[in-house]
Chain A
Amino acid sequence: MANGTVALEEKSFYEESTNRWNKGILAWIFSTDHKRIGLLYLYGISAFFLVGVLAGILMRLELIAPGKDLFEPQFYNQLFTLHGVIMIFLFIIPGLPAIFGNFFLPIQIGAKDVAFPRLNLLSWWIYVVGAIMALISIVLPDGPLDTGWTFYVPYSVRSGTNISLAIMAAFVLGFSSILTGLNFITTIHRMRAPGMTWFRMPLFGWSMYATAWIQIIATPVVGITILLVVLERYFGIGIFDPTLGGDPILFQHLFWIYSHPAVYIMILPAMGVVSEIIPTFARRTIFGYKAIAMSSLAIAFVGYLVWAHHMFTTGISDTSRIIFSLLTFIVALPSGVKVFNWVATMYKGSIDPKPPFIWVMNFIFLFSIGGLTGLVLGSLATDIHVHDTYFVVAHFHYVMFGGVGTIFFAALYYWFPKMFGRMYNIKTANIAAALYFVAFNMLYFPKFIMGYMGMPRRYYDYLPEFEAMQQISTVGSWLMGITMILIFGSLIYSMKKGKKAHKNPWGGVTLEWHIESPPTLENFHEIPTVKTEPYDFSQLKEMDYESK
C-alpha cells in the first residue's frame, strides 16, 4: 500500500478543481467530485439541522408552563410543522446517505467517483431548489404550513397556509433522493475495485445499497401522493375528498407506504456506520458479517410491508391490523440481529474508547430504548392506549435522533480527520458525548411517562399535572442546545485550526484509511486490488497508522 511518503506533488481534492474555476464558490457548487458534493451537503444539511433544533427549543419553551407563554397556538402549530419538515426532509433523510455516502461509498469500494458524477451534482442542486421552495413557503403571506409534517388530508386540502409550495418542496427533495439512490446502486454494481466482491464490501456499502433500494422503491409513491394533494387543492378532483366520494384514509395508506420505509432510509445508513466504527475500535473483525449484510436487505424488504401500523386507530379491519402488527414484530428481528452482532464483535476485543466509539455506545443505548418501545406501539392493544401521545413522540425521537442523529455525530467524529485532514480535541468530543447523553434523556425520557399518562402529542396546552415533567424536558432542550453549540463550535474550530491528522488516526483497515487525508481528487494513485475481507486487522501490521 502507498504510504504518506510518496506524496511529492500530491494535491488534495481541496486544491484541485473538476471544472474550469480553480477557486471560489463556483469551483464548489458546480463540482462533480463526490467529496466536494458530500461536503456541500454537509454544510447545507447541518445548517438546516440547526434551524430545526432552534424550532424545537422554541416549542419546548412555549411548553414550559400551562397556557399561553410566548406564542399564539397557530404559531405553535407552524413551529412543530416546521421542526418536523426540516428535520425529516432536509436533515435526516438526506443526512447520512448524501453526506457520508457520497464522500465514503466510492472510496470504500475502491472507486474514483460515483457512477454518474454529473447526476450527483444535479441531485445536490435539486436538493437546494427543494430547500429554497420550503424556505419561500415560510415567508410568503399566507404563512408556513400548519398540518404537521404528515400533511394529512382533509386538513391539508382545507388549510389556508402555503401547503402547495411546501409539499411540492417535499416532492422535489424526493426527486433528489431518488437520483442519489439510483446513482449509488449503479455505483455499487459497476464500480467496485478488482477483488472487491459483494462479500468483501464494507458493511457501510451494504447498508447504503439497501437504503438506495428503498429510496428508489418508496419515494415515487409519496411523490404521486403529494401531486394528488396539490391537484385536490387546485382543482378539487375528489380523490381524497369525502364530499366528492374520495377517501382520506387512502391518503394515509399512500403516505405511509413511503414514509414508513423512509424511516429505514434514515436508520440503515446509521447502522452501516456503526458496523464500521465498532470493528475499528475493537480491533477485531465484525462478528456475523453476512448476517449484518443480509439483515440490511431484510429490513429494506420487510420494512416496506409494515406501513399500516401507523393507522391502527383509523378503523382499518382487524385482519389487516393483526397482519401489520405481526409484520411489525418481524421487522424488529433483523435490527436485533445487528445489535447482537455488534455486541458480539466487542466481546474479547481490544477496545479503544475514542470519541466515535463513545458516540456509538450512546447510539446502542438510546436506539435500544427506541426499538423496544417500538414494540409497545406495534402491538395492537397497547397502541390504542398510547396512540398519538407523547409516547410516540418519545419513541420517534429515541430512534431517529437517538439513533440516526447520534450516528450523524459518530460518523462526523469518525471521518472528520479523513474529510478535513485535521484532528479535533478528543477531550471536548468526549465531554460533548457525555453531555449529549444526559441532555437527550432529560429531554425525551419524561415524554414516555407523560405519554403513558395520556399527554397527547402536538398540543399547545396541557394539564397542570404534567408541568414538572414538561419543565424537565424543557431544561433538557436547553442542555441539548448547549451540546450542539459545543459540538459544532469545536468541529468548526478544528476544521481551520485543528492539528494535522494522521492519515489513519484510528487504525482502521477499510480502504479510506489507506489513502491520504484529505484524499486526492481521484482518491487512489491506482485502483487497489482487494485481497482480504473488509475488517481483516492482520493487515494493520503493514499499514501506517497512529498508535496509542
Chain B
Amino acid sequence: MSQSDQAITASGDHGHEHRDDIGSKMGMWLFLFTELLLFGGMFLAYGYYRYLYSDEFHFAATELSTSIGTLNTVILLTSSLTVALAIAAIQKGKKNFAIFNLVVTIGFALAFMVNKYFEWAAKMHHGIYPGADELLAKSNGEIIFFGLYYVMTGLHGLHVVIGLVLLAVMLVFVIQDKITKDKYVALENSGLYWHLVDLIWIFLFPLFYLIQ
C-alpha cells in the first residue's frame, strides 16, 4: 500500500520512534472536528433560544459594541494570515521570517485578549453579567442572550489563550531548530488549531455583534 510506504519508521532499536506526518495531521483534523462539535452544542443552544426569544435577542445585541467586535475580527483574520506565512517561511527554510511572523501572530492574539478584557470589563461595569441585579431585572430573553454571550465568547477566549501558548511553544521550537524545513508538522498542526479559533470567531461575530 502506498499509504504505509509513506510512513517513515526510524531504524533505531525502538519501534516507537515512528514518524508519520500525514498521520499526525489526520489526528489533528480529528481533534479539530471534536472542537467544532463542542462549539456545535453551544450554537445549537443559541439557535434554539434565538428562535424562542427573537425580539429580546435583537434588542440585547444592540448593547454590544460592533466596533470592538469588528476590530477583533480584523485582528484574528490577519493573525491567521501571519501564522500561515510562518509555516510557508519554515517550509522554505527562512527561519527568521518564520520567527517574525510567529511573534506577530502572538502579538495579535494578545491584542485580541486585551480588547476582550476591555469589552467584558465595560459590560460588567454596567452590571451586565450573570447573577447581577441589573441583568436579572431585564427580560428572560436578554438574560439568556448575555448568558450565551459570556459562555460562548469566554470559551472562545479560552481557546485563544490555548492557541497563544501553543504558538509560543512553537516559537521556542523554531528558535531552537526543533522545527525545521524537513520537520514542521507540529507548527502546521498549531497553525490548524489557530485557524479553528479564527473560524469559530467568524461565526460568533455575526451572531452576537452584527444581527441586530
When distances are taken between beta carbons in the complex, the residues of chain B under 8 Å from A186 are 23, 26-27, 30
List of B residues within 8 angstroms of A236 by Cβ: 130-131
Task: Give the residues in chain B near A195, CB-CB below 8 Å.
Answer: 1
Q: Does B38 contact A (CB under 8 A)?
A: yes
Stretch of B41-49, B63-71, B76-84, B174-182 that contacts chain A: B41-49
Most chain A Cβ neighbours within 10 Å, of B14, B24, B150: B14
B172 CB–A CB distance under 8 Å? no
Instruction: Give complex CA distance A38, B120 in Å.
Output: 46
Q: Which of B26, B40, B52 contacts A190 (CB 8 A)?
A: B26
User: Which of A32, A194, A237 makes the CB contact (< 8 A) with B147?
Assistant: A237
In chain A, positions 149-205 with a C-beta closer than 8 Å to chain B are 178, 181-183, 185-186, 189-195, 197
Residue pair B147, A239 in contact (C-beta under 8 Å): yes
| With known contacts A235-B130, A239-B147, A190–B23 Cβ distance under 8 A | yes
Binds B, one of A112-120, A353-361, A469-477, A493-501: A112-120
Number of B interface residues in the complex (CB < 8 A): 45
Chain B contacts for A223, CB-based, 8 A: 38, 41
Interface of B is mostly: helix
Q: Is B3 an interface residue (CB 8 A)?
A: yes
Could you tell me if A522 and B15 are in contact, using CB atoms closer than 8 angstroms?
yes
Contacts A115-B23, A247-B48 known; A239 to B148 CB distance under 8 Å? yes
State the Cβ distance, B58 to closest chain A Cβ, in Å: 15
The verdict on A237 contacting B130 (CB below 8 Å), with A216-B33, A220-B35, A220-B40 known, is: yes
Known contacts A18-B14, A182-B30, A186-B30; A235 and B131 CB within 8 A of each other: yes
Q: Which residues of B contact A178 (CB under 8 A)?
A: 31, 34
**Chain B contacts of A227 at CB under 8 A?**
155
Number of A-B contacts (CB under 8 A): 130
A315 at the interface (CB under 8 A from B): no
B15 x A521 contact (CB < 8 A):
yes
CA distance A231 to B140 in the complex (A): 18
Contact between chains at B41 and A225 (CB < 8 Å):
yes
- B23 partner residues in chain A, CB cutoff 8 A: 115-116, 186, 189-191
Interface residues of A in 60-117 (CB under 8 A from B): 112-113, 115-117
Instruction: Encode B110-133 as 1/0 by CB contact (under 8 A) with A.
Output: 000000000000000000001100
B16 close to A224 (CB less than 8 A)? no
**Known contacts A191-B4, A236-B130: A182-B27 contact under CB 8 Å:** yes
- A219 part of interface (Cβ distance < 8 Å): yes
In the assembled complex, how far is the CB of residue A193 from the closest CB belonging to chain B, in whole angstroms? 7
**Does A343 sit within 8 A of B, measured CB to CB?**
no
* Chain B residues in 8 Å Cβ range of A239: 45, 49, 144, 147-148, 151
A244 and B140 contact, Cβ closer than 8 Å, known pairs A117-B16, A235-B131, A238-B130: yes
Cα of A545 to Cα of B49 in the assembled complex, Å: 64
Give Cα A246–Cα B147 distance, bound, in whole angstroms.
Answer: 10
CA distance A244 to B144 in the complex (A): 7
* A50 contacts partner chain B, Cβ-Cβ < 8 Å: no
Neighbour of A220 across the interface among B7, B37, B148, CB < 8 A: B37
B interface, CB within 8 angstroms of A = 1, 3-4, 7, 9, 14-16, 18, 20, 22-24, 26-27, 30-31, 33-35, 37-42, 44-45, 48-49, 52-53, 130-131, 136, 139-141, 143-144, 147-148, 150-151, 155
